[in-house]
Amino acid sequence: MTTGEDTSIEVGVGPWTGEWPAGDHWDPELLEHGDRRNVVDRYRYWSREAVVADLDTRRHGFHVAIENWQHDFNIGTVVRNANAFLAAEVHIVGRRRWNRRGAMVTDRYQHVRHHPAIEDFVAWAAAEDLPVIGIDNLPGSRPMETTTLPRRCVLLFGQEGPGLSDAAREACAELFSIAQYGSTRSINAGVASGIAMHAWIRAHAGPPPE
């Protein structure tokens, strides 16, 4: 099998038994050798292209962006969350390379776009008429718990250490924070992305498919 996924733990299904089903979405390799990918059951034996095409028919109205000036290890988690909550697209702002380990191969099913500089990202968002919503606990941020995220938006996250850069903050139509109660200044961007995406889901999404 050439899916590139971690097959050390036997998950999924073995080779298809009986006559192969008809249809373009089936992957002959997976039918023959089994499907050990980390995908929900309804996509078993589907080709990657078919899965992406199906996801594309029902992606949500929010995009996710994260600054990447120091190879932030959280980006993989952001991509995995974006896949789980079905973001329209993920945007990496800054360095092109990012650590894919935390994505657990979900980037293969997600549209990931690179913008070399904040200016490029802002120009793209303006062209799409999408407000940039900064997620960070900065002075002036409004509590996410008592507001509703816009239906169409880009949620922009900062990186470990500095958080949102000055240029990124200036690009934001609004800033939202996640309430914290302990001693740490912040949670990591991967966790923050999951909380923010789920806030969007609670406000705007229907139930997931069966």
Interface positions with ligand SAM (CB under 6 A): 135-138, 157-160, 163-164, 177-178, 180, 185-189, 192
Q: How far is the CB of 132 from ligand SAM (least distance, A)?
A: 12
Q: How far is the CB of 115 from ligand SAM (least distance, A)?
A: 17
The 3-state DSSP class for residue 77 equals helix
Q: 55 or 138: whose CB is closer to ligand SAM?
A: 138
The 3-state DSSP class for residue 46 equals strand
The 3-state DSSP class for residue 132 equals strand
Q: 116 or 143: whose CB is closer to ligand SAM?
A: 143
Q: Work out the angle at residue 107's Cα, subtended by the Cα atoms of residues 1 and 2, and round it to the nearest 5 degrees.
A: 10
Separation between Cα atoms, residue 30 and residue 111, nearest integer Å: 23
Separation between Cα atoms, residue 103 and residue 178, nearest integer Å: 23
Q: 81 or 177: whose CB is closer to ligand SAM?
A: 177
Q: How far is the CB of 122 from ligand SAM (least distance, A)?
A: 17
Dihedral sign for Cα atoms in the order 183, 71, 80, 122: positive
Q: How far is the CB of 88 from ligand SAM (least distance, A)?
A: 19
Q: 103 or 164: whose CB is closer to ligand SAM?
A: 164
Q: How far is the CB of 187 from ligand SAM (least distance, A)?
A: 4
Q: Which residue is nearest to ligand SAM (CB)?
A: 158
Helix, strand, coil tally for the chain in percent (to 5)? 35, 20, 50
Q: 77 or 106: whose CB is closer to ligand SAM?
A: 77
